Amino acid sequence: MAEKRHLPVLNSKASAEDEAPRVGAFGWALLGALSIFVLFLPLGMLGLWASTAITRLFGGTLPQGYAQASILGLLGAFPLVFSFAVASFGGAGLVGRYSPTSRWSLSSIAGLLAAMLVVGVAAAQGALRPYPIAILVFAILGVVAGLSGYVGGRFGRRFRA
C-alpha cells in the first residue's frame, strides 16, 4: 500500500497574529459604540412600543396636571433607558471579550460614545428641541451607558478564551 503523503510545513517564525495590524484602544471603543448602537436599534423599537403601552395604560388613571405629565414621562422613558442599558451591556461585553487591551474604562468609553451617537441622531431629527432636554437626556444615557458598559466589559472579560 502506498505511503500517505503530507503537505510540507513551512518553518516561519512570524505567526499570523504577529503580522496582523493591532487595533488600538480607541478603535475598540469605536467598535463597541457601534455595536451598542446596532443593538439599541431593535431594542429601542421594543422599548418605544412598551413606553407607548405604559402611557396608554396609566394615562387615564393619574390625576390631571403637571404631576401627571412628569410621572407619565418617567414611566414612558423607563423602557427606552432600560433597552439602552441592555444594549450597552451587550456591546461592552463584546469589547471586553475580544479586545486584547480591554480595561474597565474602555467599555465605559464605548458606552459614552454610543450615548453621544444616540443623542446626536435624536437631536438631528429634532426630537430634542430645547437644548436643556438634550443635555439632560445625554446625562441620563451617559450614566446608564457608563455603568452598564463597565458591568458588560467585566462580564465579557470572564469569557475570554
Mean pLDDT score, 17-24:
65
Question: pLDDT for 5-18, tens place per residue?
Answer: 777 766 655 555 55
Mean pLDDT score, 52-63:
74
- Average confidence score pLDDT of the chain: 83
Give the domain ranges of the chain: 25-157
Question: pLDDT for 109-138, tens place per residue?
Answer: 999 999 999 999 988 988 888 888 888 889
**pLDDT score, position 31:** 92
Contact of 158 with 93, CB cutoff 8 Å? no
Structure-derived torsion over alpha carbons of residues 10, 16, 19, 20, reported in degrees to the nearest 10: 160
Locate all alpha helices (DSSP H) within 59-130, ordered by sequence. 66-98, 104-124
Structure-derived torsion over alpha carbons of residues 25, 93, 137, 122, reported in degrees to the nearest 10: 80
pTM: predicted TM-score of the whole model, two decimal places: 0.79
